């Protein structure tokens, strides 16, 4: 036998309440209809009577609205100009960021060829990082890595974070 979930129990209760309320809802429907019928003429009367009042309010408000527009026109103009300048600045910054991201996203490979060998600089940097880690350091400790390549010696000398030095023979 499957256990009833809380959701099932709530659904059952809602169904029972709905069934129990059905006769009362049916009895109330004619009264609701009568109330709607009686309210309709009142609603129409309110609309008719409020129309001229609304028109009068709008006519009286129009000179005030014009005066507010007139007085705020200089500020509105300045705000519009500043908004346009800000929009231009945002466009320029977006363009600069897009160009910067394009430069970063463009894949660049740098190879050094000397006599009978070729080395890719990124592979060399990866090997140096691994050597640094193998020496007991953490990879996350590397904040800055400078590599000095001496092709005639087949050696790369390096400095990590301006203090730890080493060399890598390739």
pLDDT at 22: 86
pLDDT at 98: 73
At residue 156, what are phi and psi to the nearest 5 degrees? -120, 125
At residue 31, what are phi and psi to the nearest 5 degrees? -65, -40
Q: Give the span between the Cα atoms of 132 and 142, in whole angstroms.
A: 9
Whether the CB-CB separation of 166 and 128 falls below 8 Å is answered with yes
pLDDT at 160: 95
pLDDT at 3: 67
Length of the chain: 170
pLDDT at 2: 60
Domain limits of the chain?
A: 111-169
Whether the CB-CB separation of 131 and 168 falls below 8 Å is answered with yes
Whether the CB-CB separation of 128 and 168 falls below 8 Å is answered with yes
159: exposed, middle or buried (Cβ count in 10 Å: 0-12, 13-18, 19+): middle
Q: Give the span between the Cα atoms of 36 and 120, in whole angstroms.
A: 85
pLDDT at 75: 86
pLDDT at 103: 67
Task: For the full predicted model, state whether its pTM sits above 0.75.
Answer: no
Q: Give the span between the Cα atoms of 146 and 164, in whole angstroms.
A: 10
pLDDT at 31: 86
pLDDT at 128: 94
Stretches in the chain below the pLDDT threshold 50: none
């Amino acid at each position: 036998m499957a256990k009833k979930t809380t959701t099932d129990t709530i659904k059952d209760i809602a169904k029972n309440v709905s069934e129990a309320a059905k006769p009362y809802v049916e009895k109330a429907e004619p009264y609701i209809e009568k109330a709607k019928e009686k309210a309709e003429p009142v609603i129409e009367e309110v609309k008719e009577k409020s129309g001229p009042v609304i028109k009068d309010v709008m006519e009286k408000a129009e000179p005030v609205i014009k005066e507010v527009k007139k007085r705020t026109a200089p500020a509105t103009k300045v705000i519009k100009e500043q908004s346009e300048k800000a929009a231009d600045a945002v466009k320029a910054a977006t363009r600069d960021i897009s160009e910067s991201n394009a430069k970063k996203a463009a894949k660049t490979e740098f190879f050094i060829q000397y006599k009978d060998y070729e080395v890719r600089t990124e592979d060399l940097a990866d090997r140096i990082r691994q050597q640094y880690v193998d020496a007991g350091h953490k990879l996350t400790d590397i904040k800055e890595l400078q590599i000095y390549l001496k092709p005639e010696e087949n050696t790369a000398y390096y400095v990590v974070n301006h203090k730890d030095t080493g060399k890598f023979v390739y």
